[in-house]
C-alpha cells in the first residue's frame, strides 16, 4: 500500500552550489496510484498539469486571483471511477475492470479560500469560501467520503462537505498556525501539527493523543502503517522546518509514546515524501524523501520498535546538469529535484527536476547497492518539450518539396483577381460581414451624442444607459475588463442612475461581485462602497422581498462588521494623535527668545542745577528780548559767589595757623 504526503512549506529560496537561487519551494505533487500526472504551481500562480508518460503539458489553469491569492498547497483527491459520455455495454472480460483516474485537485490559497479543480472537465468545479480568516497552509482529502479537511493560520481546522460546498464543522486545533494535516487510510484518525502534533478522532472531534518533540513548526505528516492504534502497530512520520531528522512515532495504548522511536538522517528539511508500505512483515518499509537542497534520499526499514541511533539513507540521488556559462565549461551544476515517487519494482524511481515552469520528468533506474548516485543530464537538450494537443488544436502539416499548394479562387486554382479602383465595390450585407460588439456600438453612440448635443442632459442619459448595459453584460459574461471599466467610476450621479436602470435579476450578481472585490482587494473598497450604497438605497424593496436574503448577504454583513469593529477606537487614537501633532507643530512655529542684553543703551544723568533749570524752563517767559540781561545778571552773581568763597577759605586758614585745629571738639563747641 502506498501513502503519499506533500509537505506544505512556505515559499523560500533554495540556494544552489554557486550561491544563486536555483529553485523555489512551490507546491508540486504526483497523482496517486498511476502517477500519470504531475501538478505544480509556479511563481506566476498558474496551475500546470504535466503528463508523466508523454512528458507534455496536459492542462493549464489560471485562477482569477492568481497574483493576489497565491497557491500555498496542492493535494490530489482519491482516485474514483469517472463516467465520460454514454456508457456502452461491457463484455464479460471487461466487467471486472474499472477505470480509476485522478480527477480532483484541491488548491489552498493565501486568502483563505480553497479551489477544487477537475482535470477530467478541465475547469474549476467549485470554490470553498468562508471557512478561514487567514491563509490555508494544508489540505487533506478523506479517503472514502466526499469530505475535505483544511488547516490555516487562524489556528483552526475546517471540515468541508464537497457536495454542498459548505463547512460541516470547525474547531480550534492549536495556539499557533496549523501547518500540516494527514488523514489515516481507514478515515478514522486525523493528525494535525503546528508546534506540537495532535491526533484527533474524526467521528467525535476529540483529542486522542498529543506528541511533542520538534522545536520548530512541523510541515510534514504521513501515516506509515494502516493498523489501528489498539494493536500498538500504528506509526506515522513527521518533519519540521530547519530539522534534518525525519522522526517516526508509535501510537501506543499505554500512552508511553512521548518520544520518537526512529529517526532518519537527512541533508536538509523534507519537502516531498513518498512512502510504500509492505503487506508482509518480511518486507521493509520503503521511503523516498526529497529535501529542500534538491537531493533525494531512499530508506528501507522494518517498523518493529524503537531504534536508538538515527538511520542513514540507503541511497542518495543528485541530478546535475552541464554548465551553460563559458566560465563553467563542462563542470556539472546541481539541478534541484522537485518531486519523486517510488515504483512497484525496486529498480526505478520517477523523478521531476528542473524548473517549475517546464520541469523534466524521467523514470530513472536506481541501484540501491550504491550509496551515492549522481545523474548528469543535459537540461537544455531535454527541455525541448512540445505542448499537448489538448491545449492547442492547431497542427502544422508536413509539406514535401513535390507537393503543390492549391489556392482557392478562380478556375485553374490561380490567385483571385483583385478589383480595379474604378470598379464599384459591392458589399454584401449578411451574417458573414463583421459586426461590432455591443461595447463598441455604445462607445460610438456616446461619442456621437457628445459631439452633437454638447455637455447636456442627453449625453448623461446615454452614458448612463451604456453603463447599465455594459454592467449587465459584464455580470453575465464575468468579463473583468468590462466590470473594471464600469465599477471604477467615481461620479456619484452616474452610479446612482446606472443602478436605477439595472434589471432586477442583475441586482444579486452585482452585490456578490461587489462583495468579492471588497474582500479580495481592500484598496478598491472606496469605489465599491459607492455602488453598494446606491444598490441598497434604490433596491431596498426588492432585496427585502427575497426569502434567503440573510444567507446571501451574510458574507457582506460579516465583512463590514469586522471592518467597523475597530472604527471607534481608531477614531479616538486619530484624535489623540491629531492633538499631539498640533501641539508639536505649534511649539515648533513659535520663535525662540534668546538671552536678553541687560546693558543700557543710553545713560542720562541729571544734576540739581539742571533740575532747577528744567523747572524754570517749564515756566512761561515774559519777554524773549531779555536774554542778554539775564546772562549779565548770572555772570554778576557768579563773581559775587566766587568772592564769598575766597573770604571763607581765608577765615578757615587763620585758625589753622594759630593752632586752633588741635582743640578738642568739646572746647570747640563751647567756643561756638
Q: Which of 143-157, 179-193, 556-570, 638-652 has the lowest mean pLDDT?
A: 638-652
User: Does the model's pTM come out above 0.85?
Assistant: no
Rounded CA-CA distance 447/428 in Å is 27
Q: How far apart are the first and last CA of the chain?
A: 149
Where are the strands (E) in 560-660, listed by range? none
pLDDT at 558 over 50: yes
* Mean residue pLDDT across the chain: 75
Residue appearing with cell numbers 459584464: 474
Q: Are strands 197-201 and 206-211 parallel, antiparallel or unpaired?
A: antiparallel
Q: What is the pLDDT of residue 427?
A: 45
- pLDDT mean over 326-336: 69
Q: How many whole angstroms separate alpha carbon 76 and alpha carbon 274?
A: 14
- Say what the pLDDT of residue 214 is: 87
Report the range of poorest mean pLDDT among 221-225, 328-332, 513-517, 581-585: 328-332
CA atoms of 60 and 391, how far apart (whole Å): 8
Q: What is the pLDDT of residue 178?
A: 93
Taking residues 388-407, what's their average pLDDT?
Answer: 52
Distances (CA, A) of 543 to 183, 214, 474, 547, 553: 43, 53, 21, 9, 10
Summarised one tens digit per residue, pLDDT across range 303-318 is: 887 888 899 999 999 9
Looking at the DSSP bridge assignments, the partners of residue 183 are: 190
User: Cα–chain-centroid distance for residue 458?
Assistant: 45
What is the β-pairing status of strands 47-51 and 37-41?
A: antiparallel
Q: Is 430 helix (H, G, I), strand (E, B) or coil?
A: coil
C-beta of residue 340 within 8 angstroms of C-beta of residue 349 = yes
Q: How far is the C-alpha of 303 from the C-alpha of 249, rounded, in Å?
A: 10
Measured CA distances, 657 to 134, 176, 478, 663 (Å): 122, 120, 137, 13
445 with 466: CB under 8 angstroms?
yes
Amino acid at each position: 500500500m502506498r501513502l503519499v504526503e506533500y509537505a506544505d512549506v512556505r515559499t523560500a529560496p533554495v540556494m544552489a552550489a554557486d550561491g544563486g537561487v536555483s529553485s523555489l519551494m512551490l507546491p508540486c505533487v504526483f497523482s496517486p496510484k498511476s502517477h500519470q500526472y504531475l501538478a505544480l504551481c509556479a511563481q506566476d500562480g498558474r496551475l500546470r498539469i504535466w503528463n508523466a508518460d508523454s512528458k507534455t503539458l496536459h492542462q493549464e489553469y489560471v485562477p482569477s486571483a492568481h497574483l493576489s491569492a497565491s497557491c500555498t498547497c496542492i493535494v490530489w483527491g482519491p482516485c474514483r471511477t469517472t463516467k465520460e459520455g454514454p456508457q456502452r455495454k461491457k463484455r464479460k472480460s471487461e466487467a471486472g475492470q474499472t477505470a480509476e483516474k485522478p480527477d480532483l485537485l484541491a488548491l489552498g490559497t493565501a486568502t483563505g479560500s480553497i479551489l477544487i479543480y477537475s482535470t477530467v472537465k478541465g475547469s474549476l468545479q467549485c470554490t470553498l469560501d468562508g471557512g478561514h480568516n487567514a491563509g490555508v497552509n494544508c489540505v487533506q482529502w478523506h479517503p472514502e467520503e466526499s469530505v475535505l479537511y483544511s488547516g490555516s493560520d487562524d489556528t483552526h481546522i475546517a471540515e468541508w462537505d464537497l457536495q454542498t460546498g459548505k463547512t460541516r464543522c470547525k474547531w480550534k486545533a492549536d495556539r499557533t498556525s496549523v501547518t500540516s494535516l494527514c488523514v489515516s487510510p481507514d478515515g478514522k484518525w486525523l493528525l494535525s501539527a503546528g508546534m506540537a502534533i495532535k491526533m484527533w478522532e474524526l467521528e467525535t472531534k476529540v483529542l486522542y493523543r498529543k506528541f511533542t518533540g520538534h522545536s520548530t513548526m512541523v510541515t510534514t505528516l504521513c501515516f506509515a502503517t494502516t493498523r489501528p492504534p489498539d494493536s500498538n502497530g500504528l506509526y506515522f512520520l513527521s518533519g519540521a522546518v530547519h530539522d534534518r531528522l525525519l522522526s517516526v512515532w508509535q501510537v501506543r495504548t499505554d500512552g508511553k509514546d512521548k518520544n520518537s522511536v526512529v529517526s532518519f538522517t537527512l541533508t536538509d528539511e523534507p519537502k516531498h515524501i513518498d512512502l510504500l508500505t509492505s503487506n508482509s512483515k518480511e518486507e521493509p518499509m520503503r521511503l523516498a524523501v526529497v529535501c529542500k537542497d534538491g537531493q533525494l534520499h531512499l530508506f528501507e526499514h522494518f517498523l518493529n520498535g524503537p531504534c536508538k541511533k538515527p538511520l542513514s539513507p540507503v541511497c542518495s540521488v543528485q541530478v546535475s546538469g552541464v554548465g551553460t556559462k563559458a566560465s563553467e565549461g563542462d563542470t556539472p551544476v546541481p539541478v534541484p529535484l522537485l518531486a519523486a515517487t517510488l515504483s512497484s519494482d525496486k529498480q526505478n524511481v520517477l523523478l521531476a527536476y528542473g524548473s517549475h515552469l517546464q520541469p523534466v520528468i524521467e523514470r530513472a533506474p536506481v541501484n540501491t547497492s550504491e550509496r551515492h548516485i549522481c545523474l548528469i543530464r543535459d537540461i537544455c537538450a531535454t527541455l525541448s518539450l512540445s505542448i499537448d494537443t489538448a491545449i492547442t488544436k492547431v497542427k502544422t502539416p508536413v509539406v514535401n518539396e513535390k507537393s503543390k499548394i492549391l489556392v482557392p479562387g478562380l478556375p485553374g486554382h490561380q490567385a483571385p483577381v483583385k478589383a480595379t479602383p474604378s470598379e464599384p465595390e459591392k458589399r454584401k450585407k449578411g451574417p458573414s460581414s463583421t459586426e461590432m460588439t455591443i461595447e463598441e456600438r455604445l462607445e460610438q453612440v456616446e461619442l456621437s451624442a457628445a459631439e452633437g448635443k454638447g455637455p447636456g442632459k442627453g449625453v448623461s442619459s446615454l452614458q448612463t444607459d451604456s453603463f447599465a448595459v455594459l454592467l449587465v453584460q459584464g455580470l453575465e459574461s464575468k468579463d473583468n475588463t468590462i466590470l473594471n471599466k464600469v465599477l471604477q467610476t467615481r461620479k456619484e450621479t452616474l452610479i446612482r442612475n446606472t443602478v436605477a436602470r439595472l434589471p432586477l435579476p442583475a441586482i444579486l450578481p452585482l452585490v456578490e461581485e461587489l462583495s468579492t472585490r471588497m474582500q479580495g482587494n481592500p484598496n478598491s473598497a472606496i469605489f465599491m462602497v459607492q455602488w453598494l450604497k446606491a444598490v441598497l438605497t434604490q433596491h431596498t424593496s426588492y432585496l427585502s422581498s427575497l426569502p434567503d436574503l440573510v444567507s446571501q448577504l451574510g458574507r457582506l454583513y460579516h465583512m463590514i462588521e469586522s471592518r467597523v469593529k475597530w472604527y471607534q477606537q481608531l477614531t479616538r487614537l486619530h484624535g489623540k494623535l491629531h492633538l499631539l501633532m498640533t501641539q508639536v507643530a505649534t511649539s515648533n512655529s513659535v520663535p525662540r527668545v534668546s538671552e536678553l542684553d541687560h546693558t543700557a543703551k543710553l545713560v542720562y544723568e541729571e544734576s540739581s542745577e539742571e533740575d532747577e533749570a528744567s523747572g524754570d524752563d517749564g515756566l512761561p517767559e515774559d519777554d524773549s528780548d531779555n536774554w542778554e540781561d539775564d546772562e549779565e545778571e548770572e555772570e554778576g552773581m557768579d563773581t559775587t559767589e566766587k568772592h564769598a568763597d575766597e573770604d571763607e577759605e581765608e577765615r578757615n586758614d587763620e585758625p589753622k595757623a594759630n593752632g586752633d585745629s588741635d582743640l578738642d571738639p568739646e572746647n570747640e563747641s563751647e567756643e561756638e
